[in-house]
Chain A
Amino acid sequence: MRVRMKVDGVTYEDEVQPRTLLTHHLRDGLGRVGTPIGCDTSSCGACTVDIDGESVKSCSVLAVQADGSTITTIQGLSGAENGDSSTWHPVQKAFQEHHGLQCGYCTPGMIMATVDLLKRNPSPSEDEVRHGLEGNLCRCTGYQNIVKAVLSAASELRGEGPLPGSFQDAPENDTAQTPAAETAGAPA
């Protein structure tokens, strides 16, 4: 079947089988391999993309169902694909600055789900962040830094600047830290 969809700003028209999953079409058909496949059972959220303004698990959508849609993947989020981190979306920056990842496999889906969450709720509480990302599993981080990154990105997107406490704010050499700074409650 013939399908036409706009992916990360480019319109593609292709022949697909009805059984082709959107995630396979994006990766194998269009070469948009920034969207990984995690669990294959709709649980993990690694393959989350934005379809017509809503976060969706692309492993649970047929490519034919997305005919006529506008899709944004992690690769199109910043609007630039030259690897230049200065053009990154604030959520991408926050995940880097707060170390919201370790192996990075869940990160594209985590970031796409976060962008959707913050669009609907620009000032989430920590609890709302955790519930808002319940469809995205991370097996490395324990979620602490992901939550920090999301709260920081929310603050930045509201125009209030990123939250302090990122790993880049820490002193380069821990041994150089003075006792005074420690007692003042500097983040570890």
Chain B
Amino acid sequence: MIPPEFDYVAPTTLAEAVAALGEAGEDAKILAGGQSLIPVLRLRLAFPTTLVDLSRVPELRGVSEDADTLVIGAMTKHSDVVEDPLVQQHAPLLSEATATVADPAVRHRGTFGGALAHADPAGDLAAVALALDAELVAEGPGGRRTIPARDFFLDYLETSLSPDEILAAVRIPKLRGSWGVRYEKFNRVAQAWAIVGVAAAVRTEGGAIAEARIGLTNMGSTPVRPAAVEAALVGASDRAAVVAACAAVAEGLTPPSDLGAQADYRAHLARVLTARAVAHAAGMSS
């Protein structure tokens, strides 16, 4: 279908973009890579008055370091995140998960910040941002503020960004020490959304788990960080102990029931995939 009519502006600096968004009013939408928004427009599920296109704002692209933190511009494309040597070195969980997003052509357009701001709980990257304790940097008319990932995802497609704010960058603390990572994604066919996904980063000491960070994809209306399971995993030194600790991963969660899977099946998948991801990350696969 042909999208509904809208006005279009393409600012070239972040300051211009914030001003344009403010001027366009509350029914404006930000256009990042467009790989979710443009299909939504084509299906006429949204009727924005104005699109503020960020693709011509160079300061929003690229990966850099700020001491112990990796700084990823919100408009950095998935394909660039996957290939970036700094991301591979300091946040390999993000490289691994991003490589599973959609397909190569979509990854050539879709952006890291766009995926997070879209906040689809079936998207792979929100769980990764949550597991890695990322901070989201938002720029608005009142200036810049930093939002921890745990406070960013509020509900299905809803974040704590206010309508006049733009997600500018994502700050990810570098992993230090002997961390292993794994993103386990379960879907029925290539390029499909995750029915359930599990992002795991695990630090081991002397063959036992010293610290575990886990993010769950599509197990609720937001990405989920199962803190009790993370705590229970500490000290686990073999696969059986990992499986036992992960048995409670779906407790208290209300995963969706849809064409992809019923809620109880998702709970089962979460238990299996979390154990698999943690065991792999900890080098206990066999």
Q: Which residue in chain B gives the minimum CB-CB distance to A45?
A: B105
- Indicate if B103 sits at the interface (CB-CB under 8 A): yes
Q: Are A56 and B109 in contact (CB under 8 A)?
A: yes
25 A–B contact pairs at CB < 8 A? Answer: A17-B5, A18-B5, A18-B6, A18-B7, A19-B4, A19-B5, A19-B6, A20-B2, A21-B3, A40-B42, A41-B39, A43-B191, A45-B103, A54-B105, A56-B105, A62-B31, A62-B53, A64-B10, A64-B53, A65-B31, A117-B104, A130-B190, A132-B104, A134-B191, A136-B103
Within the complex, the shortest CB–CB distance from A166 to chain B, in Å, comes to 26
Bitwise, B90-131 to A at CB < 8 A (1) or not (0) is 000000000000111110110000000000000000000000
Number of A-B contacts (CB under 8 A): 87
Chain B residues closer than 8 Å to A17, beta-carbon distance: 5
Within 8 A of B (CB), among A102-140: 113, 116-117, 130-132, 134-136
Q: Which residue in chain A gives the minimum CB-CB distance to B77?
A: A54
- Indicate if B55 sits at the interface (CB-CB under 8 A): yes
- Indicate if B221 sits at the interface (CB-CB under 8 A): no
Determine the interface band of chain B, counting residues with CB < 8 A from chain A.
20 to 34
Within 8 A of A (CB), among B157-172: none
Q: Which residue in chain B gives the minimum CB-CB distance to A51?
A: B108
Q: Are B3 and A19 in contact (CB under 8 A)?
A: yes
- Indicate if A188 sits at the interface (CB-CB under 8 A): no
Q: Are A135 and B6 in contact (CB under 8 A)?
A: no
Main secondary structure of the interface of A (DSSP, over half): mixed
Within the complex, the shortest CB–CB distance from A50 to chain B, in Å, comes to 10
Q: Are B2 and A19 in contact (CB under 8 A)?
A: yes
- Indicate if B38 sits at the interface (CB-CB under 8 A): yes
Chain A residues closer than 8 Å to B31, beta-carbon distance: 62, 65
Question: Which of B2, B4, B43 is close to A21, meaning CB atoms less than 8 Å apart?
Answer: B2
- Indicate if B274 sits at the interface (CB-CB under 8 A): no
Chain A residues closer than 8 Å to B2, beta-carbon distance: 19-21, 24
Q: Are B103 and A135 in contact (CB under 8 A)?
A: yes
Q: Are B190 and A131 in contact (CB under 8 A)?
A: yes
Q: Are B3 and A55 in contact (CB under 8 A)?
A: no
Chain B residues closer than 8 Å to A42, beta-carbon distance: 35, 38-39, 106
Bitwise, B1-45 to A at CB < 8 A (1) or not (0) is 111111110100000000000000000000100110011011100
